[in-house]
Amino acid sequence: MKLSFRWYGVDDPVTLEKIRQIPNMHSIVTAVYDVPPGELWSRESIAALKKTVEDAGLHFEVIESVPVHEDIKLGKPTRERYIENYKENIRRLGEAGIKCICYNFMPVFDWTRTQLDRQLPDGSNALVYYQDQISRMDPLTGELSLPGWDASYTKESLKQVFDEYGKLTEEDLWENLRYFLSEIIPVAEQSDVRMAIHPDDPPWPIFGLPRIITGEKNLDRFLKLVDSPYNGLTLCTGSLGSSKENDIVHLVDKYSEMGRIHFLHFRNVLLLPDGSFEESAHYSACGSLDMVGILKVLHKNGFTGYIRPDHGRMIWGETGKPGYGLFDRALGATYINGIWETLERLG
């Protein structure tokens, strides 16, 4: 496994110098953030990012994310231009040495939580998803804006995109995904860039919008849409693991044995009886997932891909981007190291 860490660029208070001091750190996971979804990333921006990361003594091999334009998910005629741009971005990133691109196919909203700073019993803060809160939210009328939401939507444009999704069935979304993959995966193969879809977070429909990258049956279907090793997964343990239907150790075992996990997001969640969940510390007993079991099957299957601690809590008074502070993610990284070293020693 190659240990990695997400970094939001030169304005991120968690600097590359700090990240480098985490033992065994290999790669930075980042993106060009100042280009709207669907547009081209300039070679200059990519080269500058690569230089900054490499000058700090870290590898530049993973992008999270190259966003997929909404017109591609909706299957609109205008998708052709955005797909061509997507292919060109894959080529440019491949030329710059990128090995893996993470992306998602969630309509409108990326990850969704109902509160970003819920205080846990130990005094730390975490991101949570409470069913009773979500059922009271309506993105079309409320004043709400959550971090996974694209801030560029006005209420009117949001209503329009909701109307467009209203006409789309889940099967249509599958077909639009298949079409997208059939176009981009050959380019990924030529560029030697592994594509790694991120599961829907949480893995069920929200606000009446369909979500399809949710569990085993659908992951099987996804991998067969284009049956190439370059069409793979970002297996996010906390996203899939927030549904009690998903047996995460089994999923990690199955898909890493198939060689289809290119990137693993290591996050623990505490599941509550009503389907709500809280993001917890990485240590297994703090949440509902068997974190050692996850690494054990990855190790058994000879995993050589990238792994990063996913969201962390805010601890020790740290403030910053919810989920993306330094301290708890660094603890997560050393937890990964400790388990992995033990597995290596035990053979």
How many residues make up the chain in this entry?
A: 347
Q: Give the binding range for Mn ion (CB under 5 A) out of 21-29, 162-170, 232-240, 270-278.
A: 232-240
| Separation of alpha carbons 132 and 115, rounded Å | 12
For residue 4, what are the β-bridge partners? Answer: 27
Residues 296-325, one symbol each (x = binds ligand CS2 by CB under 6 A, - = not), give ---------------------------x--
Catalytic annotation on 69?
no
Within the chain, residue ranges assigned H as helices are 16-20, 43-55, 70-74, 79-95, 131-134, 155-166, 170-191, 216-225, 237-240, 248-257, 291-300, 327-346
Among 49, 83, 102, 315, binds ligand CS2 (CB under 6 A): 102
Return d(Cα 91, Cα 75) in angstroms, integer.
Answer: 23
Contact 314, 168 (CB under 8 A): no
Task: Please tell me which residue in 262, 282, 299, 311 is annotated as part of the active site.
Answer: 311
Nearer to Mn ion, 85 or 332 (CB): 332
Is position 265 an interface residue for Mn ion (rule: CB under 5 A)? yes
At closest approach, how far in Å is the CB of 108 from ligand CS2?
12
CA 246, chain centre distance (Å): 17
How far is the C-alpha of 263 from the C-alpha of 167, rounded, in Å? 33
Q: Is 335 in the site for ligand CS2 (CB under 6 A)?
A: no
Nearer to ligand CS2, 4 or 104 (CB): 104
> Among residues 3 and 236, whose Cβ is nearest to ligand CS2?
236
How do beta strands 27-30 and 2-6 pair?
Answer: parallel
How many amino acids of this chain bind Mn ion (CB under 5 A)?
Answer: 3
**Exactly one of 12, 69, 230, 236 is catalytic; which is it?**
236
Write down the least CB distance from residue 153 to ligand CS2, Å.
17
**Taking CB under 6 A as the rule, which mask of x and - marks residues 109-148 in contact with ligand CS2?**
-xx-------------------------------------
| Residue 324 annotated in active site | yes
Residue 329 contacts ligand CS2 per CB under 6 A = no
- Verify cis geometry, omega within 30 degrees of 0, for the bond prior to 243: no
Q: Which of 12, 71, 290, 310 is catalytic?
A: 310
According to the binding rule CB under 6 A, does residue 28 interact with ligand CS2? no
Q: Does 310 bind Mn ion (CB under 5 A)?
A: yes
- Does the annotation count 236 as an active-site position? yes
Is the backbone peptide bond immediately before 202 cis, with ω within 30 degrees of 0? yes
Site of tokens 């079991």 = 293
Selection from ligand CS2, Mn ion, none that 222 binds (CB < 5 to 8 A by kind) is: none
Q: CA-CA distance, 148 to 145, in Å (whole number)?
A: 9
311 is catalytic: yes
Note whether 65 binds ligand CS2 by CB under 6 A.
yes
Least distance from ligand CS2 to the Cβ atom of residue 223, Å: 18
Contact stretch for ligand CS2 (CB under 6 A) within 102-110, 150-158, 285-293, 300-308: 102-110
What does the buried/exposed string (b/e) look like for 243-279 if buried means 16 or more CB atoms within 10 Å of the residue's CB?
beebbbbebbbbbbeeebbbbbbbbbbbbeeeebbbb
- In the complex with Mn ion, the residue whose CB is nearer, 201 or 253, is 201
Unique residue bearing structure tokens 């050393």:
334
Interface characters, 188-207, with ligand CS2 (x: CB under 6 A): ----------x--x------
Radius of gyration of the chain (CA): 19
Q: For residues 133 and 74, give the distance between their C-alpha atoms in angstroms, rounded to a whole number.
A: 28
Q: In the complex, which residues of this chain contact ligand CS2 (CB under 6 A)? A: 64-65, 102-104, 110-111, 198, 201, 236, 265, 323
User: Which residues participate in catalysis according to the annotation?
Assistant: 198, 236, 265, 310-311, 324
Q: In the complex, which residues of this chain contact Mn ion (CB under 5 A)? A: 236, 265, 310
